[in-house]
Structure 1
Amino acid sequence: MTYVVGLTGGIGSGKSAATAEFEKLGIAVVDADVVARQVVMPGTSCLQAIAEHFGSHLVTKNGELDRRALRQRVFSNPEEKEWLNNLLHPAIREEILVQLEQAKSPYVILSAPLLLENGLEKYCQRVVVVDVPETVQLQRTLQRDNSPKKEVEAIMQAQLSRDTRRQKADDILNNDGSIEKLQQQVKQLHQRYLAAIVAQEK
């Protein structure tokens, strides 16, 4: 039985920075965002279904999904969004479970922005939330993505509130300070998870 630690946080909280620190300690990371791209790669049945449903103009000349065009198409259309979710979520979930099973490290991180929203925490022994104040989330995302402020705020609105995430967390990584501060916290959690696995095996 693989010991799975779910890692989540709002947009701009620094999930990638946190998972990079776990990787430095030799821990495998299964990233739901990466898996979401893998299931719609050229030649996949999901990409074919999207092209048939929405039209082949959503596939670029290199045979890849035009993610931006798709996002714009479903963003304000609840029915189309639901159709897309019904297609992709089961495929993503299946691939995540395969990758978790194949992980070779003492425990594995499942990194997912919508871990709690999509019920993925049921596959996890622990849930760690990367936490920053909402003002920091907004500021970091605007700097990183060059997205319009309204778009970022809409994404934040669609995600769980900061309070709800904190309540559902087993562990919290405060990421409003330096990278060294984050590294320190990750190392402490790493030791705690290794100890929990040893205790579980006794």
Structure 2
Amino acid sequence: MSKVIGLTGSIGTGKSTVSNFLKEQQIPIIDADVVSREVVEPGQVAYQQIIETFGTSILQSDRQIDRKALGRIVFSDETSRKQLNEIVHPQVHRTMLAKRDHYLNEGIPIIVLDIPLLFENHLQQYVDLIVVVYTTPEIQLQRLMERDQLTREEAQSRINAQTSIDTKAKQADMIIDNSGTFKETKQQCNKLLEDLQSEL
């Protein structure tokens, strides 16, 4: 019996730290950010639809999509952002579920779907257990400012664009508190794996 974990958090809470640790333990990670880049590669369905919708001016000389150019369009216009999401999200979901089903068919005991917008995109039904990587809002703000070299206002604006970490934590089956040291976070990850393995 396999367990599918939905791993989520908010920007700056340290979800990547947890995801990387689980990967080191040989747990397969299906990363929504990686898949979202794969589905817009040349030759993919979403790639063609994006060009048809936004034109060839968003292409680089090697025919790859210029993510910054596309970003400038969609972040300044709500309609364009919705159009892009309607193209990309179904392809990402389909690809992630196909990868999940592949691992399930292989009998892999623990599979992780790493999805930053798990709640926002209503994907809870695709996982057995939701793990939220949490940190206090103040630490989240400080980490984001340091990591991305942002002002306090810029960092807060990016945090505000997502569902708050406190709201996500209330919907979690389990919380990994990443407010402390890496060692403390690692201990919580190990406890999660022990608990899951005892249930298999």
TM-score, normalisation: structure 1:
0.91
Distance 1:144 1:79, change over 3 A: same
Once the two structures are superposed, the pairs formed by residues 1-202 of structure 1 within 5 Å of their partners are 2-103=2-103, 104=106, 105-147=108-150, 149-197=152-200
- Partner deviation per Cα, 1:70-124 (whole Å, 9 max, x = no partner): 1221113111111111111110000000111122531101111101111111111
Gap runs ≥5 in structure 2: none
- Partner deviation per Cα, 1:27-77 (whole Å, 9 max, x = no partner): 110000001001001222211221221121111112211112212211131
Report how many residues are paired: 197
Report the Cα offset of residue 149 of structure 1.
4.7
Aligned-residue sequence identity (percent) comes to 36
Report the Cα offset of residue 25 of structure 1.
1.7
Deviates more, 1:36-45 or 1:138-147: 138-147
Deviates more, 1:144-153 or 1:172-181: 144-153
Tell me, what secondary structure is at the counterpart of 2:64? coil
**C-alpha separation between the residues in 2 aligned to 1:74 and 1:128?**
30
Gap runs ≥5 in structure 1: 198-202
Indicate if the aligned counterparts of 1:12 and 1:138 stay in contact, CA closer than 8 A.
yes
TM-score, normalisation: structure 2:
0.92
**C-alpha separation between the residues in 2 aligned to 1:192 and 1:28?**
17
Report the Cα offset of residue 148 of structure 1.
5.4
Indicate if the aligned counterparts of 1:59 and 1:66 stay in contact, CA closer than 8 A.
yes
Tell me, what secondary structure is at the counterpart of 1:16? helix
Indicate if the aligned counterparts of 1:74 and 1:80 stay in contact, CA closer than 8 A.
yes
